[in-house]
Amino acid sequence: MTTTGTVLDEIIVGVREDLSVRRAAVPDAEIVRLAQAAPPALDTAARLRGDGTTMGLIAEVKRSSPSKGALAEIPEPAELAAAYAGAGAGAISVLTEQRRFRGTLADLDAVRARVGIPVLRKDFMVEPYQMYEARAHGADLVLLIVAALEDTQLRDLYDLAAELGMQALVETHTAPELERALALDAEIIGVNARNLKDLTVDLGRAAELLRGIPAGPLAIGESAVASVTDVEAYAAAGADGVLVGEALVTSGDPAAAVGSYCRVARRGRPLPEGAQA
């Protein structure tokens, strides 16, 4: 269910073009073989849940973004990921989209080889090939953006992730998208504060959506984090964790920022009506 003319649509055009090049170099049969030969994926949900007392953190290796342009050079993504992990991050997000985010699958390989915690391949997943590709390169978690996928595509890619042993962060931006994620019975639901039409962020709108997620799935707040105060706002809205990139790579001391975010207390969400505690 894409929206015509959005930044997301433009990005996906480039993603498909770049995918066709990689697919020509590594045919479908080979990427499937590599995915099946990869070591078992780690349980990201369990890692982010932790003991339930403090916020889970997916710390992102992020060089650039469509809204802000260049953020950080990050010549050694594995070093940054190791600093994140050492400071308490529950998982590492690695952007692999080339044109707008300056990420590569080589970054994913480097991070996977360095850290022992779950790794998210953060990209615009629109084809089964990308799911096999993610697993072949060691991803434990993949991003599925509801706005980029029709219902059948969303279900098929979600099921394929599970078949490959991975989990999916199902990202939503609006109430209708959240309804679709809940209908999918997604285990990990992301609520992104960014508006895909104009790239503005509104943490208040995201907080409102988070409050609509019942107890059960992990709820992850995305975007609009610039400080501990913002992580606390997500916690107050019922998020179990946050995904943060820009604030970490521009902080000057990413490890210290990770530590401060991971110490924020989790508040929890109310049980659905009629449910027993």
Instruction: Identify the band that residue 61 occupies on the pLDDT scale cut at 50, 70 and 90.
Output: very high
- Rounded to 10 degrees, the C-alpha dihedral 257/116/119/90 comes to -40
Q: What is the pLDDT of residue 118?
A: 98
Of residues 276, 56, 89, the one with CA closest to residue 188: 56
In this prediction, residue 271 carries a pLDDT of 55
Question: Structural domain boundaries of the chain?
Answer: 7-263
* Residues pairing with 121 in the sheet: 94, 142
- The band of 268, judged by pLDDT with boundaries at 50, 70 and 90, is confident
What pLDDT is stored for residue 69 in this prediction? 86
Q: What percent of the chain clears pLDDT 90, i.e. is strictly above it?
A: 87
CA distance 18 to 24: 10
What radius of gyration, in Å, describes the C-alpha atoms of the chain?
17
Residues 6+ apart with CB under 8 A from 129: 19, 23, 28, 31
Global pTM exceeds 0.85: yes
The per-residue pLDDT for range 22-52, each reduced to its tens digit, is: 999 999 999 999 999 999 999 999 999 999 9
Q: What is the pLDDT of residues 172-188, one digit of tens each?
A: 999 999 999 999 999 99
Contacts of 49 (CB under 8 A, 6+ apart): 56, 218, 240
Average pLDDT, the chain: 93
| Segment 119-137, tens digit of pLDDT | 999 999 999 999 999 999 9
Using DSSP bridges, classify how beta strands 69-70 and 64-65 pair: parallel, antiparallel or unpaired: antiparallel
**H helix or E strand, kind and range, residue 170:** strand 167-172
Report the C-alpha gap between 40 and 204 in whole angstroms: 38
- Identify the residue with better confidence: 67 or 12: 12
Question: How wide is the angle at C-alpha 88 spanned by C-alphas 82 and 89, nearest 5°?
Answer: 70
Q: What is the pLDDT of residue 275?
A: 46
Burial class of 173 by CB neighbour count within 10 A (0 to 12, 13 to 18, 19+):
buried
Please say whether the dihedral angle defined by the alpha carbons of residues 45, 50, 56 and 59, taken in this order, is positive or negative.
negative
Tokens of 210: 């988070």
Tokens coding 118: 């779950």
Give the CATH superfamily of 7-263. Aldolase class I (3.20.20.70)
| Helix (H), strand (E), coil (C) string for 193-208 | CECCCCCCECHHHHHH
The pLDDT of residue 68: 84
The pLDDT tens digits of the residues spanning 90-130 come to 999 999 999 989 999 999 999 999 999 999 999 999 999 99
- Do 42 and 59 contact (CB within 8 A), yes or no? no
